[in-house]
Amino acid sequence: MDVALSANGKRVLRIFFGLLVVFLYAPIAILLIFSFNNSELPTFPLSGFTLHWYHQFLTNADLKGALETSAVVAALSSVGAVLLGVLASVALARKRFAAKAAVSALLLSPLVIPYVVFGISLLLFFHAAGIPRSILTVAIGHIVISLPYTILVLVPRLDQIDVALEEAAADLGASPLQTFRLIVLPLILPAVVSAFLIAFTTSFDEYALASFVVGTRITFPVYLYSALRFPSQLPQVIAVAVVVMVLSLIVVVSAEIGRRVAERRLSL
């Protein structure tokens, strides 16, 4: 008899799962509680309920500028990562060429390279190439670190599509571009949307790399880290962190629901 299927085993697994959930999500719950605390110090007991910190960050011009910069960088990098990811995924899933495994490993290598090391490397490269640090340099870095995620989302979806559909389109006279536009793209569209959202959230929340290549317009994570040095701004940072976290959760959940609904309709 499997120990995990026994009554005591199930009880232990439930307790372990509950402790794991508490360990993972208790900090988030505490962050949410302190965002409504009527005190500049995040300590218990709470001083009272207030929405002042949310109103304060909504009227903070520097914070709104950092949010706008992060949104622009995330939009640019996610579009670039998805475009390159689609091209790379089609090549990896449909083409046969020499050193295919090596190319795949190279494209996925940013997953295992520390962002600090990668940020220093990009900083040295941009300095040697005479490229000034700006939104563009941050977007280039984020494209590289987001590209593996788009490939990991798109390749499995392409593997699920029957190659016979593309061959039939070619037999009917469709060009490779027409086959991709009319056959492949509609079938992988849910995965493309998911890849875009993953790349967007990855770029929007990334700090380590951006801190090295950011220009005069700092991104939202860089602003938050610098604001943490001032205790008076800590409640405002907590409030905006809660808002960003909730919005990110809504986007990710909505994207996953939309992807599953779209794939279910395409499979009918």
- Could you tell me if residue 4 is inside a domain? no
Confidence (pLDDT) at 245: 80
Confidence (pLDDT) at 79: 93
Angstrom CA distances, 114 to 104, 153, 208, stand at 19, 21, 9
Confidence (pLDDT) at 1: 47
Confidence (pLDDT) at 262: 65
- Could you tell me if residue 25 is inside a domain? no
- Could you tell me if residue 24 is inside a domain? no
- Could you tell me if residue 42 is inside a domain? no
Beta bridge partners, 60, equal none
Confidence (pLDDT) at 84: 92
CATH code for position 110: 1.10.3720.10
| DSSP SS3 for 31 | helix
pTM of the model: 0.78
The total of structural domains in the chain comes to 1
Domain coverage including residue 168? 55-267
Q: At which residue do the structure tokens 């990710």 appear? A: 252
- Could you tell me if residue 193 is inside a domain? yes
> What does the DSSP assignment read for 140-197?
HHHHHHHHHHHHHHHHHHHHHS-HHHHHHHHHTT--HHHHIIIIIHHHHHHHHHHHHH
Profile the chain (268 residues) by mean pLDDT over runs of 10 residues. Answer: 62 84 82 77 72 76 83 91 90 80 85 87 88 88 91 85 78 79 82 86 86 85 78 75 79 72 66
Residues contacting 178, CB < 8 A, separation 6+: 169
- Could you tell me if residue 29 is inside a domain? no
